[in-house]
Amino acid sequence: MAAAAIDNPGFSLQACDWDLACSAVNDGSLDYLAALPCSIEHIALLGPIRAGDILHLSTALMTLIPDSDVPFDFDRYEANDGTCADRLRRAWVKQFSRLHETDGPNLFAAWVAAYEQEEHIEPAWHNAVEQDYGTKVITTCAAALANCTDLVMIWRL
């Protein structure tokens, strides 16, 4: 599957090897990374969604699974051109595997609600993006766990 270019403010989530992701970010070869067999799942969250909006996913998850209070944490690699790769902590990724694909619309709705609660404004992207992003987040996290690989967020400063 081909990756879309990462434009600010968007980002992508990939179930892939951390070292390969860092190398791809450094070389500017993100399309190559998405095409590798190690890139099991890829979700491009482009357009009006900002990389920082992923923080609201933790809050959204806690509304669906109240005992899922795992902080959002990551390791970061930053290339000279401002492209970053963040390896999301496995404990955080595991919490999303507790959801089923059918929970995707509820996760998306909770993500929008968490954004509104924390930012005190409706997210500009809530009507502009695909509603199945919640499902894609769940399946990408599940793929990372099932294949014993990393969940990497790639974004640009």
In a domain, 62, yes or no: yes
DSSP secondary structure letter of residue 89? -
Q: Which two tokens stand for residue 11?
A: 């980002």
In a domain, 146, yes or no: yes
In a domain, 33, yes or no: yes
In a domain, 1, yes or no: no
User: Which DSSP string corresponds to 23-79?
Assistant: HHHHHT-HHHHHHSTT--EEEEE-TT--GGGGHHHHHHHHHHSTT------EEEEE-
Query: Which residue range forms the structural domain that includes residue 66?
Result: 11-156
pLDDT tens-place string over residues 92-140: 999 998 999 999 999 999 999 999 999 999 988 888 676 688 888 898 8
In a domain, 70, yes or no: yes
In a domain, 6, yes or no: no
In a domain, 152, yes or no: yes
In a domain, 4, yes or no: no
What confidence score (pLDDT) does residue 99 get? 95
The phi, psi pair for 53, rounded to 5°, reads -70, -15
Question: How many structural domains is the chain composed of?
Answer: 1
